[in-house]
Amino acid sequence: MIKNIVKIDKKIIRFVVIDILLMLMSLLFTLITPLVYQRFIDDCLVNKDVSYLGIIIVAYFLMWFLDTFISFLRNEYEQKYLFKFKKFFAEKAMNNALRITTNISLGDLKDRIESDVYYLVIKNTIDKIYNYILITGCVIMMIYINYIFGLSSLLIFPLAIFLLKPIHNKMIKYASEYRETFGEYETWLVKTCDMWDDLKENGHKEFIMNKFYKRWVVLNRLYLKRQICFVAQYCLNEFKDTFLIKLNLYFLGIAFIMTGNMTVGMLLAFMKYYEKCINTYQEINTINANNTSYKPYLEKAEQLVTENISEPNHKPLV
């Protein structure tokens, strides 16, 4: 996908590099904040030593200010570039679409122009790179806090993933089927509307209404299956986060505290890193699911933008 995007706009590489550098600067504050939180818990709350309280408050304020400023710069940079890219892509796709004569229906054309898949794939790719770096950084920080506790906690994570994988795969499957079926329905609907007067004159109105009803029955079933999988995944996620992970880790952490191998602040900071890993992993799953569902639209959009289009021999789409 990225190779095809580069063919359309070679400046995309520079944009991705700069955007990732800005995210890494923001990531630095994300990884430091739990350590400052640890010092606040251990020194100020547990040991009742307020001598570092002023430094901790200033550190929190500076990290918040710098993180907000970097996020603002990144957002402005992304919006400025990606808006130009979306405009460029839409104009090129539309100009080519007006010259295509054969195999593109109005329903497909609508999907190709409105889906913004190239824009979404760019965003998802950058976010995915950032999330992988974030998980790596959090794992390093967990091992830094307590390598035995860190390695032990990492054994629980694959078990939770294994429990969620089947329902997650089903949700991706039903979401893709729904999107593909809905696209076919839109194409059929556009063609039917174009020929509606002829169909009514020939007495096919009842037949078309039956087909319309059958298509919506199929769509409703797929939508229901997708929503059931979504709710089931949400419930399993809550069970995993609350019972399989948090409670087990807290019990294990208490044992480490009682043996003098950890402090309360270290445990709470560790849990912040661990929860960040879980949330980031779920975000990566969401990105992968979205990229899978975007694939048919990306292929359609790519045809409009990259193919060599000859002058029409037939009537164009306008």
- 296 or 136, greater pLDDT: 136
284's CB contacts (< 8 A; 6+ apart) are: 128, 131, 132, 135
Residue 118 burial by CB count (10 A; 0-12/13-18/19+): exposed, middle or buried? buried
* pLDDT beyond 80 at 7: no
Nearest to 317, CA basis, from 30, 42, 108: 108
Model confidence at 315, pLDDT cuts 50, 70, 90, reads very low
| Residues 261/148, Cβ–Cβ less than 8 Å | yes
Q: Residue 226 and residue 234: Cα distance in Å, rounded?
A: 12
| Mean pLDDT value across the chain | 76
Q: Which amino acid is at 301?
A: A
Q: Residue 56 and residue 152: Cα distance in Å, rounded?
A: 30
- Mutual angle of helices 117-145 and 264-306, in 10-degree steps: 160
Q: Residue 243 and residue 9: Cα distance in Å, rounded?
A: 48
| Residues 257/264, Cβ–Cβ less than 8 Å | yes
Q: Residue 114 and residue 92: Cα distance in Å, rounded?
A: 13
Q: Which amino acid is at 36?
A: V
146's CB contacts (< 8 A; 6+ apart) are: 256, 261, 262, 266, 270
* pLDDT beyond 60 at 211: yes
63's CB contacts (< 8 A; 6+ apart) are: 29, 32, 33, 36
Nearest to 268, CA basis, from 246, 288, 283: 246
Residue 301 burial by CB count (10 A; 0-12/13-18/19+): exposed, middle or buried? buried
Nearest to 195, CA basis, from 210, 183, 205: 205
Q: 251-283 b/e with 16+ CB inside 10 Å = b?
A: ebbeebeeeeebbebbbbbbbbbbebbbebbbb
Measured in degrees and rounded to the nearest 5, phi and psi for residue 116 equal 55, 40
- 56 or 7, greater pLDDT: 56
pLDDT in tens, 158-181: 666 676 677 767 777 777 788 778
Q: Which fold has domain 2-306?
A: ABC transporter transmembrane region fold (1.20.1560)
pLDDT in tens, 239-290: 766 776 777 788 888 888 888 888 999 999 998 898 888 788 878 877 777 7
SS3 sequence of 87-129: HHHHHHHHHHHCCCCCCCCHHHHHHHHHCCHHHHHHHHHHHHH
Residue 99 is predicted with a pLDDT of: 57
pTM across the whole model: 0.65
Residue 317 is predicted with a pLDDT of: 31
Nearest to 317, CA basis, from 15, 106, 71: 106
Token pair in block for residue 3: 């190779």
Residue 67 is predicted with a pLDDT of: 85
In whole angstroms, how far apart are CA 209 and each of 78, 184, 186, 188, 290? 46, 16, 15, 12, 33
Model confidence at 311, pLDDT cuts 50, 70, 90, reads very low
Q: 174-195 b/e with 16+ CB inside 10 Å = b?
A: bbbbbbebbbebbbbeeeeeee
Whole-number CA gyration radius for the chain? 26
